[in-house]
Structure 1
């Protein structure tokens, strides 16, 4: 069995444990670890499967799990490209969220931030989604291009609205609402083939029982929910704090400080929300066999099966 899959199935962590686990996996040093170290870690886990699960207090084993879980896709067993590893998500998206939420006097000034943000998040969702179903390269390219274009279009809608409306509350609230909803729909659209073609479901030993569209639907729904929580909170809290900050004497003396304050607030909030949102649901989702398709129920006596939710 793929070591990462075995780990997530065996270690049924609580939310707090998953949160602490993700704080380690999101360590920026996981972006610069060499391929040689990753291969050695994987070899250690593959040759000592049972010991690796039992001996989690051993620092050597613990480091091996950290490298494997943070750099290798659990479905394919292939290395995740460095810019799209979970540890890269915060450094890439935090500045993009900040710039995409800035008030703009023209549409042109926001096109690049919006397109950059949705290009990255679409690619991240596609790379870190479930990879257990058949998908051709041209399908991924066409789907990704369409999702980027549509997400960017809807992301620019608040700017068009702000140019025509003077209502202060609407001008502040609409960008947050749009960012939250479009981020969730981006996951649904990017991974739309999973509910259509189905993803692998397996027993606790890693034996594949079949491909389930219902499991694919649940995986996409849970991941979309985590993105809504992530970006909704990240966009909302800095706006609230900024509302009170502009009333302070410090802001009156140094108006330029609003940018610094808002960027710092965005990074801090998102720094907390990324591991929290990734921890909302287990990495290896569980689903009752009775909820799956009849053809899967007929080939197993297990009451509960597992699937890779994706990040």
Structure 2
């Protein structure tokens, strides 16, 4: 099992590492010099393509522990030590498997690399034509259950929360998300609606909007209790509800982009494919094309959506609570946005 000694120390190192990872491990990097390049979407995208490596789902606890111990003994890993490939691999392995706030191991099914293989089939099944409401219950329940747990596990964990609070919030979010996801399908079956709007457009819009609302609801404790904000040295200045609101809002926006695009593009391809001669000869090929298209689009959109906003978010001190402004002379503070 992962050792739990020094969680605060390791959490600070991990927070610094999140910034360092987006810079491509260049030499002689320090925290203050690392902040400007965070604006580069391309750098974040390239780093996420590495962190989303499927092998991170099956890496052993022993290897993760070795990576952790290596980083703990290389506190200056943001400098010249990054030229060491062992240190580079240790950062990648740690960032993809260990939570940056709590320094706890992220369960394999809920690591960032697991989002694509778990949700792509669910999105595909959720967008299939409705034959009966019963056929839609399992895909909707599965999708929103997984999304809710993923959002809670990978959200900011710097505030105090009890296990039963997460369970109660998660159960409520799963139930409400599933209900609103099935509601338009119920109308479609009940009134035999078969237009393009009701069959293709509305389900995509509902899926995208509910994916964003799922983030807002499942991480609702962050804006209520506030999350840690830090200066450029990594020192915690205080807890900010406004930073928590911004973190949740940005993540929700990225989910809307991810699932909205991943559901919309296969629908467009399917619409035109059904008018080809090949479809008339092989109608079964539609589902193969749609599933393949969903996986390919999501394979691109997952790193894109994770890269839209930096995981280490910035916020102007003037936008924060007065007690935080009075506690520091910094003009800009930082927080973990979560995934």
Q: TM-score range by the shorter chain?
A: over 0.9
Asked if 1:92 corresponds to 2:102, the answer is: no
Query: How far off is 1:54 after superposition?
Result: 3.7
Asked if 1:235 corresponds to 2:263, the answer is: yes
Which of these residues, 154, 159, 171, is aligned with residue 145 of structure 1? 171
Asked if 1:287 corresponds to 2:315, the answer is: yes
Q: What corresponds to 1:209 in structure 2? A: 237
Deviations 1:252-302 (CA, angstroms, capped at 9, x unpaired): 111101010000000000000000000000011011111110001111111
Moved runs in structure 1, 4+ residues, more than 4 A?
none
Query: How far off is 1:206 after superposition?
Result: 1.5
- How far, CA to CA, are the matches of 1:158 and 1:55 in structure 2? 55
Which of these residues, 66, 86, 106, is aligned with residue 92 of structure 2? 66
Q: What corresponds to 2:182 in structure 1? A: 156
Q: What corresponds to 2:4 in structure 1? A: none
Query: How far off is 1:158 after superposition?
Result: 2.4
Q: What corresponds to 1:80 in structure 2? A: 106
Asked if 1:5 corresponds to 2:9, the answer is: no
Which of these residues, 158, 183, 207, is aligned with residue 179 of structure 1? 207
Query: How far off is 1:53 after superposition?
Result: 4.1
Equivalent residues in 2 for 1:117-136 (5 A)?
Answer: 117-136=143-162
- How far, CA to CA, are the matches of 2:280 and 2:317 in structure 1? 61
Asked if 1:47 corresponds to 2:73, the answer is: yes
Contact 2:17 2:78 in 1 (8 A): no
Contact 1:52 1:61 in 2 (8 A): no
Query: How far off is 1:55 after superposition?
Result: 3.7
Deviations 1:20-44 (CA, angstroms, capped at 9, x unpaired): 0000000000011111111111111
Q: TM-score, normalised by structure 2?
A: 0.89
Q: What corresponds to 1:252 in structure 2? A: 280
> Secondary structure at 1:156's aligned position in 2?
helix
More deviation in 45-54 or 294-303?
45-54
More deviation in 47-56 or 124-133?
47-56
> Secondary structure at 2:333's aligned position in 1?
strand
Higher RCO (Cα < 8 Å, 6 or more apart): 1
Deviations 1:164-185 (CA, angstroms, capped at 9, x unpaired): 1232333210100100110000
RMSD: 1.1
Q: What corresponds to 1:263 in structure 2? A: 291
Contact 2:279 2:285 in 1 (8 A): yes
Contact 1:201 1:215 in 2 (8 A): yes
Contact 2:156 2:336 in 1 (8 A): yes
Structure 2 residue runs of 5 or longer lacking an equivalent are 1-8, 20-30
Deviations 1:97-121 (CA, angstroms, capped at 9, x unpaired): 0001101111100100000000000
Q: TM-score, normalised by structure 1?
A: 0.97
